[in-house]
Structure formats: structure tokens, C-alpha cells
Amino acid sequence: METRILWGKELAQATIQKVAQEVENSRNQGKRPPGLAVILVGKDPASQIYVSHKEQACKRAGIRSMGFRLPPSTSMDEMLNLIKDLNRKEEVDGILVQLPLPPHLDASPIIEAIDPIKDVDGFHPINMGKLALGDEGMVPCTPKGVMALLDHYGIEVEGQEVVVVGASNIVGKPLALLLVNRMATVTVCHIKTRDLASHTQKAQIIFTATGVTHLIKKEMVPRGAIIFDIGISRVRDKILGDADFEGLQGWAQAITPVPGGVGPMTVAMLMVNTLEAYKKRVGLER
């Protein structure tokens, strides 16, 4: 069996291009550009790279990006005041707080301070609650990107046995909800799952988001399975995924590569969410 590689790069580029076109149309009607405020606290190297990718994507999409690079000593009050200020700003449609935050800053009250309409990461309890109820307004970018890839490659999940490995609030849980909303039969596994392979062996589609390098190996999945690898780990300057990409060749039906699969879709979906927030705020929503 030849394993199909499910690339995300081209789809991400095309998605950003589409956003750029919509922004241009709106500008031609005399509207202001969409605005995205990105808050980065501290100097975490991976976070700096992610933020710069987001800023580059904004440039391509015609979205005005406003970067707030704050020192690691930033206090809770300073964060909450900045968010209050950004909530009030007319030209700011989206507010993103790059995670993880330094240990002294509790992410929950900070995310809860963001106006849900500007919550382009989709992490606010109101947006998460809506997602749980099947109202997919502001959906977290990585799971949304995975769903866009499923659609692009015509992979149907309705009625399928699927396994999500990883149960974080930003990837695993919202992804599981999106899959339930599409009527898949979903099993969620995590660090306390006793026998991971016993679950993955029964799945037609496996979504993995743990950050554990090569956790998912050939002997753990049935022949012909489809694997969406969301994990990212850095091993000696190489970026690797949760799945043993080489070992699964010729065994899996299809697999997303790391890098170049789900990763670029996350940034593209951030542009889509910012455009959606903008359209609601400037009254372009039909």
C-alpha cells in the first residue's frame, strides 16, 4: 500500500490567499483593515518563532498585526489592564495571548478577560462552551485546521471509530468535540490511559497531539489507518512528530507530515478566525 502524504502547506497558503482577497474586497468598500493584537510574555524561543510566523501570515493576509512583547516580569495586573485596553480598541478585532505564559501568570483569568468576540484562539470558556453545544463560532485554530484538512482530502469521519491521543484544552479536547459534532465515535486517550495500543489498534483514524516523539508506531495501528500527527518535538535541531512517519510508510493509508502538515494550518486558521471576528465587528457578516 502506498501511503498518501496529507500536506497542509498548500492548503494553508490558499486559505491565507482567500482571506487576503476578502480583506481587499472590504478595503475597496472603504473599510479599515482587520487588526490582530499578539501578546508575547518572556523570551521562550519556540513562542518567538510561532509569533513571528503569525505576524508574517498577517502581512500576507492584509491583517494589521500589533505585537506586544512584554518582559518576563510582567504582572497579572499589567496583563489584565492591557487586555481591557485591547477589548475597548475599535481597530483590534482579535486578541491572542501566546502560550505558555511564565509560571507566575495564570492563563485562565487572562483568557477569560478577553472579549469572547475577539477571542481568535477560541480558548475563552464561552467559546469552548459553545463548541461543546455544537455551535462552532470561534474554534481553536489547531483543531479547526485539522478539520479543514479532513475536508480538503475528502476524509469522512461520520460513523468512523476515531482516537484522539492527547486531551489538552487547546488541542485534544476541542478536537474531540469537533469530531463528536460530526458524528464520529470518539475515544480520547491521555497520559493515564492504561493500554494506548488497545485503543489505537481499533481506530480507522488516529489524531495524535502529545509532543512525545514517535509515540505512534506501526504495530499500534491497523493496516490502512489514517494518521493526523499534530505533535511537535525538537530532537537535535530536527522537528519530529508523534508518529513514526518512516515506519508507517506502506502500512498507513495516509499520514500528515511534521513539519508541513497540520502546523501551517494552525496559522492559516488564525487568519480565518481574525477575519470572522472582523466581519462581525464591522458589520460585514451576512
Among 93, 98, 204, 253, which one carries the catalytic annotation?
98
Interacting positions 174-203 with ligand NAD (CB under 6 A): 189-191, 193, 196
The only residue of 168, 185, 201, 249 in contact with ligand NAD, by rule CB under 6 A? 168
The dihedral built from the CA positions of residue 226, 172, 275 and 137, taken in this order, carries a sign that is: positive
Q: 82 or 141, CB closer to ligand NAD?
A: 141
Question: Considering the complex, what minimum distance in angstroms separates the CB of residue 167 from ligand NAD?
Answer: 4
Q: Examine the residue annotation and report whether 173 is marked as an active-site residue of this protein.
A: no
Task: Indicate whether 212 belongs to the interface with ligand NAD (CB under 6 A).
Answer: yes
Q: Examine the residue annotation and report whether 9 is marked as an active-site residue of this protein.
A: no
Task: Indicate whether 87 belongs to the interface with ligand NAD (CB under 6 A).
Answer: no
Query: Rounded to an integer, what distance in angstroms lies between the CA atom of residue 78 and that of residue 193?
Result: 39
Q: Examine the residue annotation and report whether 115 is marked as an active-site residue of this protein.
A: no
Task: Indicate whether 275 belongs to the interface with ligand NAD (CB under 6 A).
Answer: no
CA 13 to chain centre: 15
Q: 35 or 263, CB closer to ligand NAD?
A: 263
Among 93, 119, 121, 242, which one carries the catalytic annotation?
121
Task: Indicate whether 215 belongs to the interface with ligand NAD (CB under 6 A).
Answer: yes
Q: 26 or 123, CB closer to ligand NAD?
A: 123
Per CB under 6 A, the segment of 55-63, 120-128, 210-218, 245-253 that binds ligand NAD is 210-218
Task: Indicate whether 166 belongs to the interface with ligand NAD (CB under 6 A).
Answer: yes
Task: Indicate whether 96 belongs to the interface with ligand NAD (CB under 6 A).
Answer: no
Residue 134 contacts residue 126 (beta carbons within 8 Å): no
Q: 137 or 211, CB closer to ligand NAD?
A: 211
Question: Considering the complex, what minimum distance in angstroms separates the CB of residue 104 from ligand NAD?
Answer: 19
Q: 82 or 165, CB closer to ligand NAD?
A: 165
The only residue of 139, 231, 256, 277 in contact with ligand NAD, by rule CB under 6 A? 231
User: What string of H, E and C letters represents the secondary structure of the chain?
Assistant: CCCEECCCHHHHHHHHHHHHHHHHHHHHCCCCCCEEEEEEECCCHHHHHHHHHHHHHHHHHCCEEEEEEECCCCCHHHHHHHHHHHHHCCCCCEEEECCCCCCCCCHHHHHHHCCHHHCCCCCCHHHHHHHHCCCCCCCCHHHHHHHHHHHHCCCCCCCCEEEEECCCCCCHHHHHHHHHHCCCEEEEECCCCCCHHHHHCCCCEEEECCCCCCCECHHHCCCCCEEEECCCEEECCEEECCECHHHHCCCCCEECCCCCCHHHHHHHHHHHHHHHHHHHHCCCCC
The contact set with ligand NAD (CB under 6 A) reads 142, 165-168, 170-172, 189-191, 193, 196, 209-212, 215, 230-233, 262-263, 266
What residues are labeled active site? Answer: 54, 98, 121
